[in-house]
Amino acid sequence: VNGSGERVVSARAVVKQAPMAFVFTGQGSAAVGMGMDRYQESTVARDIWNRGDTHLRKTFGFSILDMVRKNPKSITVHFGGKKGRKIREKYMSLTCEDPVTGEIAPLLPEINARTQSFSFSAPEGLLFATQFSQPALVLLEKAMFSEIEAAQLIPDDAHFAGHSLGEYAGLSSFAGALAVEDVVEVVFLRGLIMQKAVKRDAEGRSDYGMVATNPTRVGPHFTEEVMHKIVDGIEAASGKLLQVVNFNIQQRQYVVAGENVNLETLSLALTAFKALKSTAAEDVEK
């Protein structure tokens, strides 16, 4: 446009979209009500959630939507009628390898041909129990990705990655390797096996846990080497499990797993070490 307001030239530009990568998260990010705003507003997201919920209701007798919305502390799956018997048969067919003996055994030995119902419970709510948290997160991620895909906002050269559980969400969403119904069943069973891998009390609690540690919060000279010495020392003294299992960000974020009593001991040790304001790794020996 010139000084007189007349158009003197026109052109059209094609702007290439910036490189894009999609990262699908692993377990640990679940929240009550997650994704339900998009469930209400988006037909694409709602379809993904409904397909997953319908399959889990039909196959295993519970609603994943109820888990996300209400986070109940317990639910009971009833095995009455033709549909109930089919669900019971599905549970009875599940097997896994015993981690101690190596033998194949029923995954849920509590369920047999005479069982009328089976209850799941978790003190913090079932959404945070592994077997329910996993399908909920996968459905959330798949629903979010499907919305972006429906809006044609994913470039052909986009990349994707998944962390742990997120690998399943990525393969189902980005690569299309697993249908909604298949992926929710796979990760429910994956979570169920993980949940049953250690002994639990009546409320689903085990003797094991995980904590995140940040050496910089202990002190400027508290290094990864010092952290390992403390962890190894606690394990050796107690004879119980304690290991650094994730190395996320050097000097800033590690995950330590083990028996709860050792995790509490680690917390006390780090607090004491911080109070010393020590600058020497040798002080760990004291």
In terms of domains, do 275 and 138 share one? no
The pTM assigned to this predicted structure is: 0.81
CATH of the domain at 142: 3.40.366.10
Residue 118 has what pLDDT?
97
Kindly state the average pLDDT of the residues 134-148.
Answer: 98
27 and 70 assigned to the same domain: yes
Could you read off the pLDDT of 170-179 as tens digits, one per residue?
999 999 999 9
Mean predicted lDDT score pLDDT of the chain = 92
The number of folded domains in the chain is: 2
Residue with tokens 């079932």: 126
CATH number of the structural domain spanning residue 216: 3.30.70.3330
* Domain's final residue, options 195, 225, 256: 195
Over the stretch 214-255, which tens digit does the pLDDT of each residue have? 999 998 888 899 999 999 999 999 999 999 999 989 989 999
- What is the extent of the structural domain holding 255? 209-285
Write the DSSP assignment of 203-263 as a string of letters: TS--SEEEEEE-HHHH-TT--HHHHHHHHHHHHHHH-S-EEEEEEEETTTEEEEEEEHHHH
Looking at the structure, do residues 28 and 89 belong to the same domain, yes or no? yes
In a domain, 241, yes or no: yes
Q: Is residue 7 one of the residues assigned to a domain?
A: no
Chain mean position to CA 35: 15
Residues 61 and 140 in one domain: yes
16 inside domain:
no
| Distance of alpha carbon 270 from alpha carbon 85, whole angstroms | 53
β-bridge mates for residue 211, sequence order = 256
What does the alpha-carbon distance between residue 8 and residue 193 come to, in Å, rounded to a whole number?
Answer: 70
